[in-house]
Structure 1
């Protein structure tokens, strides 16, 4: 063990000296040459292509589009020597179908993924093989149960009526400039937290308070991105010393553990006090309750009696459900501001098909008529997928349909953001915002295979909450568009922030005005 530590320390010193020579001692303009800023990152001795990636990190998504478009949809990234950062990036639908579906059993998250995402524990995000199947099967039963569907519908309706609408009314009355991204993140954090624990953290309020659990999830996300672009021995050293993003990760990890322990203990006590009759006879049941009451005899690797199992479930489902929908809603409203003709068509469709008043049940029965709204949402998700990339690793050596050989444990990166912009995949108009591509000649919705439209994943790992998420977004969008005019403040810079979720780097500043009731 000591010799391994000395070896890693020696390599770290060498890499530091090389980075210092090229990025500090040499003028910065030295790197900004045709070689480093061309279509491909330059493959440096020892450092590989990492310096070129770091230089373009601020525009990594658009850069991935350029590289993959010029690489016949698949690109081999060479990392620094001796640090196992080589990766194969692909957006080839045939490769994606092979990896996500036809040869699914050979492509897993893997031990490196689990190490990088360690804050999520052994939940559904990190799990593979039989453990993943146990998680998936239990979640599928819970999600498909009428009791949970009723609970999710009533929660969304209640938070919309008692949380989002009063807040938007306040912003409109006070003529305030507001960050719509922050609003949607808080809205979805509260809803997801209620889905999971049954408790409302009330982060969506006029005061816009900081919620420690939400901040901890953000810090975890930042650290995971840092681990993706930093040699393993470097972030391991940071973790050991306790500095930088690794220090923040350690603190965030402790916060997640503490908050989860509090809610798990409270939920166990609640069930002991009240018994289970209110859950079997009632119409509402949060996910934490469902997992505590899970029949362990049906799932060999799930242990509802173990608090760590419940902790990993809570963190995993909060991370999966919180930010993705908020991101999708933010980019959707920005796309409407950039395409007023699209907004007018949506409003016309809403006015034609939906009543302005009525119960939530009445409104939900009309949602399926909003074909054009569904197509606009799909188009926004194509160009701005909430999860911008997917990571896989083969167990055994394989050959992809593109002809690329992949060795065991190599990193395979599927760039979902770039995939939605490939002309060879979507046509010459791939970069255009064109909702009509999702509508058939007869006026119905056009189906695109999941290995081409990857916003909800594909194959056995297809998102279980896809329909719930789409219905939730439609409900929010219709409520806002029926009652408010949203105007994006001019002059602000709109660009994605590098991360696990496709957030806007500087948020989305808007003003809103109430519409007159007809």
Structure 2
């Protein structure tokens, strides 16, 4: 019988454990050294393995635009590594032109941007690429070039500017504090809904009713922006928790409003055709897209389904409401903090009023200190002045145009705009960008760069836009990027200027604004540069 013998265990050696530890340590050290070596020429925040610059970016999220200013003032191109991708931020007009024009096809919105924004913008013009984008842009371009739309827009913008004036007049008389950003948001929402979709929603009524669509739209806008730096958003969406749960609720409310507008307009078109009264079909943007969609369905494609129309509606709402209201808010803040500019502008408006009245043979109604408390007389004079404002006459207000443009230079409605990268490329300054990453041009930073605007770049100075002959001085769209540039340049630029100048001409002629003492003025991190705490102020009549 053979005895079984157990195999003796290998004697423990402290050195064998030490060797493994040293090997692991050397591997980690080598990885760190290689990572640091690969970043030796990187211009931007410190990047760590796996997490990139997430920690620093999260720490500065509330002031991200100014955080980028600090880096871009030292380096015209900055790279920020993030989990799964990297962002290259640019502020040099030469690089911007390369991305937005010269090599345009290599820098679409991209899958990364679309994945973040799809729930809100869908396949709308701000989120689309390729043929779908071209088709929407062609239709929108035709509409914005229409004299009928321009003239109708001027009437609508005047109407709602006067409604806002009426609210401010009563606030002045009562000594009430108002939130101008909220009022501007209401005015522009009502305006875009009437011009773009032919519906009256009445948010600027004197009682200022709550509007669930506007509140839900704002919440959705904030949350989708947060996705750009929140590595857990997909997990939160999967479990329906946190910000993603709120986003889901907000989108539901937004969709309820939007689909109701679409159904109503389609029904109106059907009724008009059935009654043989084709002339009653409205010629707003939504109606044009409905007709285009019907034609597309007959030819095997198009934009006829309600989901596509929903995307069109929401993209034009964000274009016509948020961007304009935000710029009006920052303009008002600049006017309050630069009283010399406000008085110079008012002098231009008063001179314009007198000249236009002479040209029209109109006797101006009394509007002096003796009539300041007479509501009817004051309202009549404001309406008389508004009647002098048209697309053409507003073009004579050079200083007003310069003030609006200077506001957009320092406080662009879209502070940064990311693009995807299809193929590896080298920017004009030699920066290499990799396919699958993102390139972001930064209008907020560009307006503050001394290498773009000189030593007084950070100063609010409308005169920089006026030449020696007193005419407006344009700048390259690749330097002044508030309306983007290249093939995607904003189609609504002239319409936006029209609405802003219409409203501001009336308000700055007849009112003075006084910021509420202690009220904080800070931007909120979202796709649009809105004010985080609104713009609380008191208003007085200027006679």
Q: TM-score, normalised by structure 2?
A: 0.83
Q: Which moved more, 1:145-154 or 1:107-116?
A: 145-154
Q: 1:129 to 1:75 in 2, by over 3 A?
A: same
1:7 match: none
2:51 corresponds to 1:47? yes
1:251 match: 249
Structure 2's unaligned 5+ residue stretches are 1-42, 358-363, 365-380
Structure 1's unaligned 5+ residue stretches are 1-38
Q: 1:40 to 1:308 in 2, by over 3 A?
A: closer
Shift of 1:304: 4.2
1:238 match: 236
Shift of 1:283: 10
What is the CA–CA distance in structure 2 between the aligned matches of 1:264 and 1:294, rounded to whole Å? 14
Shift of 1:361: 6.1
1:515 match: 542
Alignment of 1:397-412 (within 5 A): 397-412=424-439
Q: Which moved more, 1:490-499 or 1:168-177?
A: 490-499
Alignment of 1:258-273 (within 5 A): 258-273=256-271
What is the CA–CA distance in structure 2 between the aligned matches of 1:227 and 1:336, rounded to whole Å? 34
1:5 match: none
Q: 2:81 aligns with which of 78, 83, 89?
A: 78
1:275 match: 273
Larger Rg: 2
Q: Which moved more, 1:355-364 or 1:476-485?
A: 355-364
Shift of 1:125: 1.1
What is the CA–CA distance in structure 2 between the aligned matches of 1:279 and 1:345, rounded to whole Å? 51
2:328 match: 329
What is the CA–CA distance in structure 2 between the aligned matches of 1:303 and 1:324, rounded to whole Å? 28
Contact preservation (8 Å) 2:296, 2:304:
no
Q: 1:351 to 1:256 in 2, by over 3 A?
A: same
Contact preservation (8 Å) 1:150, 1:283:
no
Q: TM-score, normalised by structure 1?
A: 0.86
Shift of 1:427: 0.8
State the Cα deviation string for residues 49-103 of structure 1 (Å, max 9, x = none). 11111111122111111111112x1011122xxx313111111111100000111
Alignment of 1:223-234 (within 5 A): 223-231=223-231, 234=232
What is the CA–CA distance in structure 1 between the aligned matches of 2:204 and 2:97, rounded to whole Å? 40
What is the CA–CA distance in structure 1 between the aligned matches of 2:427 and 2:44, rounded to whole Å? 22
Contact preservation (8 Å) 1:98, 1:401:
yes
Contact preservation (8 Å) 1:293, 1:304:
no
Contact preservation (8 Å) 1:420, 1:453:
yes
1:12 match: none
2:70 match: 66
2:101 corresponds to 1:101? yes
Q: 1:46 to 1:176 in 2, by over 3 A?
A: same
State the Cα deviation string for residues 11-62 of structure 1 (Å, max 9, x = none). xxxxxxxxxxxxxxxxxxxxxxxxxxxx953323432211111111122111
Q: 1:424 to 1:472 in 2, by over 3 A?
A: same
What is the CA–CA distance in structure 2 between the aligned matches of 1:90 and 1:224, rounded to whole Å? 22
Contact preservation (8 Å) 2:399, 2:462:
yes
Alpha-carbon RMSD across the aligned residues, in angstroms, is 2.2
Task: Number of aligned residue pairs: give it.
Answer: 471
1:57 match: 61
